[in-house]
Amino acid sequence: MTPPMAKRLPHPLTNHGETRDDPYYWMRSDDRSDPEALAYLEQENAYANEVLAPLDGFRQSLYDEIVARIPQDDTSVPYFKDGFWYYGRVEAGKEYGISCRRPGERGTFPEGATEEVILDQNERADGQSYYRLGGLSVSDDGTQMAIGEDTVSRRLYTLRFKNLATGEFYPEEIPNTSGGAVFAADNRTVFYIKKDLETLREYQVWRHVIGTDPSEDAMVFEETNDEFYMGLSRSRSRDYIFIGSYQTLSHEYQAIDARNPTAEPVVILPREENHEYDVDHAGGRFYIRTNWEARDFRLMSVEPGQSQDKSNWREEVPARESVLLDDFELFEQYLVIVERREGIRRLRVRPFASPENEHEIEFEDPVYVSGLGRNADFESTTLRMTYESMRRPESIYDYDMGSRERTLLKQEEVVGGFDPEAYVTERVMAQAHDGTQVPVSLVYRADLDRSQPNPLFLYGYGSYGISIDPSFSSSRFSLIDRGVIYAIAHIRGGQEMGRAWYENGKLLNKMNTFTDFIECAESLIQSGYTQSDRLFAYGGSAGGLLMGAVVNLRPDLFQAVVADVPFVDVVTTMLDESIPLTTFEYDEWGNPNDETYFRYMMSYSPYDNVAAQDYPAMLVLTGLHDSQVQYWEPAKWVARLRYRGTGSEPLLFITNMDAGHGGASGRFRRHEETARVYSFLLDQIDIHQ
């Protein structure tokens, strides 16, 4: 079995007086039907399939085992909104969900009421190799529905509208949107966002009246700064529609009176450099989560019409050092605060009438995840919340914010019998090179022999301020029950330990992300959890960049590495403003048109630092239609690894020709990729059953 060797064509790139040759640049193509590029991808797929063929039986048994834990029939917990109880369900053998509702009143689910199916995704996906529902929204009076659908996996959604009274779809369709639609109070007008077809940036807000020709739609706002993308939302009070413009370090919101949808949007606070804020509305005031004079954010409020002068803002929740104000939820009588303290996401409840009676909701496990559930009923005094840990499936509770009583509504079912007490979760700290203590969350079998090193799966991400929570996943237990320890390295670049955790893992501090991960791995070895020849690493997207950087820095540290849709050609991509995500990520990675950032990014860019050294066994995954990380990045990287790398460990590259950044769609089919990853890793330590 001879691995493919991609052709090399000289392609000098000169920046800041430095010339580097990119011999695989020819793979970059905006035409995803380019025959030469497709031929190379198919060769790599054929080679990988041939190498992995002896594992086909094991992979199938892993897949069967994983999907066997997933309930064939399941129903979500209903939530109340505008005279209906909404819920979703899945049926045996079907890949996609079914959205339903029943008429009723607040407080009690109407068991005897007739079910209305408002959308069956299985019918919509019939005949499609890929299907994803991008959004589903219903008008206030419950008569109209808007959905966004993607059948290519490029995250370009077509909006369609349904009359829920007749059950018929309207004839109009609106392509190339972000997928969501926000209804105005008239129950006929919707606002939506169009995407730029080249960069896939959300850049225009449009207004549509259901039942009319989309050619008559009106553009409400265009974001002309290509470093910003956009979002739409409706306030908790439903009085306003918000247009959000977001850049890494700057936010701006505009408000439209939901009862007057043709009104011009009014800026709540003009964008300012290094000012991030989010906004909602209730009780006649805007509530603003802001980092103005508060690195870890605080909550302010102000009357509409006075918001552009910050001297009018009133502090509601003060900032606390190293406690990140992550989110908030407004109710008519209560404020719910979501914060991260010591790396754990926690919930606090404050009555508006008696703020001195604020309290934190307590949970059981020492390492856990709590969060907001679906709270569609603004007038309710009950908080819908979620709780889970790495050993405990997600539980959905109703929490009476007055009496503090908690009612379990549902716990995620793991078919076949699952006992959380058969597993142990813990958090350990690894010391980084600068003395920083980096948390690592672990889960493993309680009966695991800890007197000797065990196989260990180490996951990392560390970018965009995204915090990786110690959450539950039933598929992981196909590793854990085979004696593998599952671990998450909460490295800098996320926000697990506050805003400083993010700032110390981005731009000219980005190397901390990679060295943190390496030092977490080394600490786990030194503590006896594992050893290098039994250590796996996994990361996807920006986590794939992490994988590419650490295997260049310490290829000896890992037995096997999986890089999923990896962002590995950092410098060339960030110099190409036509590629999606480039321009509005300058504040994350840096702008390589600036020589300082160019030099720093060149020091870690995985593609540019492939060396003549022995690399661990590697499995690299991508999707032909990926809109976030273009397929040619991992393709070029693998080609250079084949050309420069030494050693005999397998290097496999697989392109899903029908999917994009998120992989295969469908609740079962997506686990075909999970089983492939697990079989590849377990094969490295001679586990085949």
Catalytic residues: 541, 626, 661
Q: Are strands 323-330 and 144-150 parallel, antiparallel or unpaired?
A: unpaired
DSSP for 399-436, please give it.
EETTT--EEEEEE---TT---GGGEEEEEEEEE-TTS-
- Spatial neighbors of 679 by CB under 8 A, at least 6 apart, are 52, 55, 58, 59, 62
* Residue 246 backbone dihedrals phi, psi, to 5 degrees: -130, 135
Q: H/E element holding 21?
A: strand 18-21
Bridge partners, 250 (sequence order): 247
Query: Amino acid letter at 289?
Result: R
Tell me the three state secondary structure of residue 12: strand
H helices present in 437-510, as ranges: 477-480, 499-503
What separation, in Å, do the N-terminal and C-terminal C-alpha atoms of the chain show? 25
Tell me the three state secondary structure of residue 124: helix
CA-based nearest residue to 292, from 270, 261, 262, 266: 270
Hunting for tokens 């790495």 — which residue is that? Answer: 390
Q: Exposed, middle or buried: residue 105 (CB in 10 Å: 0-12, 13-18, 19+)?
A: exposed
The secondary structure of residue 583, as a DSSP letter, is G
Give the integer Cα–Cα distance in Å for 465 and 511.
Answer: 15
How far are the Cα atoms of 63, 94, 381, 463 from residue 473, in angstroms, in the given order? 15, 20, 31, 22
Query: Two tokens at 180?
Result: 């969501």
* Residue 504 backbone dihedrals phi, psi, to 5 degrees: -90, 10
CA-based nearest residue to 439, from 390, 507, 477, 482: 390
Query: Two tokens at 77?
Result: 């917990």
Give the integer Cα–Cα distance in Å for 377 and 384.
Answer: 10
Q: Are strands 202-209 and 218-222 parallel, antiparallel or unpaired?
A: antiparallel
Tell me the three state secondary structure of residue 144: strand
How far are the Cα atoms of 114, 137, 211, 300, 677 from residue 171, in angstroms, in the given order? 28, 18, 8, 44, 43
CA-based nearest residue to 72, from 57, 95, 87, 92: 92
Tell me the three state secondary structure of residue 689: coil
CA-based nearest residue to 405, from 437, 382, 386: 382
Give the integer Cα–Cα distance in Å for 494 and 507.
Answer: 13
Q: Under a CB-based contact definition with an 8 Å cutoff, are residues 491 and 438 in contact?
A: yes
